[in-house]
Amino acid sequence: MKSLVQDYIDGVYRDLTGERSGSVADYIPELAVVDPDSFAICLATSDGYVYEAGDSRKKFAIQSISKPFTYALALADRGLAAVATKVDVEPSGEPFNEISLDPVTERPRNPMINAGAITSASLVAGATVAERFERIRRFYSRFAGRELTLNESMFESEDRTGNRNRAIGYLLREYGILEEDPQTTLGVYFRQCSIEVDCRDLSLMAATLADSGVHPVSGDRVLDAGLNERVLSVMTTCGMYNAAGDWVTEVGLPAKSGVGGGILAVLPGQLGLAVFSPRLDEHGNSVRGVRSCRRISKDLELHFMHVS
């Protein structure tokens, strides 16, 4: 017998398949060739149940959803204080790819925009790009509970066209935020964005964050609980870029989106929610993703300010 939750997720999926507004990201050529109609919703509970609707096993690039996880690894490698000297935790109100630093602190405003994410990638321990990337890949894999892999052609596409990110990298180097050749850092960053996930993976990654850093199925402690709390806090204020205010008001869950069309959202202590649909709005957030999360948060009363 199908569960009530499964029926509910199937219903949301059906109701939103007709939503076709927005367009796929095309500034990275490899992102422009994805099927715009792909759609999946997954919900993973903190006791390890996963409910899936639609294309839940279809692979796509994690893109900016990588940012909270690399930030987490940088925190684990260097500690809160050292990371804080390099990247702030203030919402920027700017697009994700803005070429700017905070004029007063001369640091990236937060780790969820590209400037801060490139900085986090520079703080991950490891002697070479390959070693650092491998540590990142393994770390994300523990959140997902399976081995994640790099999509080489996505990486090449991103590397070939990533001049805006290079501009950010050189700005960071000029201000001493990066302490290495920006090309090295970008070699790590472009690869982390090109790791492939499916919607089910994202829901389990979200559920691990919901479970204070413990994977709900494997029981693996992936992240220290205090650092996990820091990551969720930054996702709450900065995860949806310049739509963060609207998101917190309407959905009320720490979240992160990526231009590959994924969104993950976390209800601490309870569940991880993930949506995949590649058509994006003007902020670079999945249109169906935002609509699904709004709807699910309202229907199930998930907003973190909700008192029942």
Catalytic residue positions?
A: 64, 67, 189, 241, 259
Residues contributing to the annotated binding site for substrate = 64, 114, 158, 165, 189, 241, 259
* Residue 10 phi, psi dihedral angles, 5° rounding: -60, -40
Q: Rounded to the nearest whole angstrom, what is the least distance from the CB of residue 51 to ligand GLN in the complex?
A: 25
Q: Which residue is nearest to ligand GLN (CB)?
A: 64
**Cβ nearer to ligand GLN, comparing 215 with 288:** 288
Q: Rounded to the nearest whole angstrom, what is the least distance from the CB of residue 66 to ligand GLN in the complex?
A: 8
Residues contributing to the annotated binding site = 64, 114, 158, 165, 189, 241, 259
What does the binding site for ligand GLN look like in residue numbers (CB under 6 A)?
Answer: 63-64, 96-97, 114, 158, 165, 193, 258-259, 284
**Cβ nearer to ligand GLN, comparing 193 with 222:** 193
| 3-state SS string for 235-283 | HHHHCCHHHHHHHHHHCCCCEEECCCCEEEEEECCCEEEEEECCCECCC
**Cβ nearer to ligand GLN, comparing 13 with 189:** 189
**Cβ nearer to ligand GLN, comparing 45 with 64:** 64
Q: Rounded to the nearest whole angstrom, what is the least distance from the CB of residue 280 to ligand GLN in the complex?
A: 9
Residues in the chain: 308
Return the axis-axis angle of helices 4-16 and 287-300, rounded to nearest 10°. Answer: 140
The secondary structure of 131-148 as a DSSP string is HHHHHHHHHHHHHHTS--
Q: Rounded to the nearest whole angstrom, what is the least distance from the CB of residue 227 to ligand GLN in the complex?
A: 22
First to last CA, the chain: 29
Other C-beta atoms lying within 10 Å of the C-beta of residue 138: 12
How many CA atoms does the CB half-sphere of 85 hold within 13 Å? 8
Torsion over CA: 176, 180, 181, 187 (sign): negative
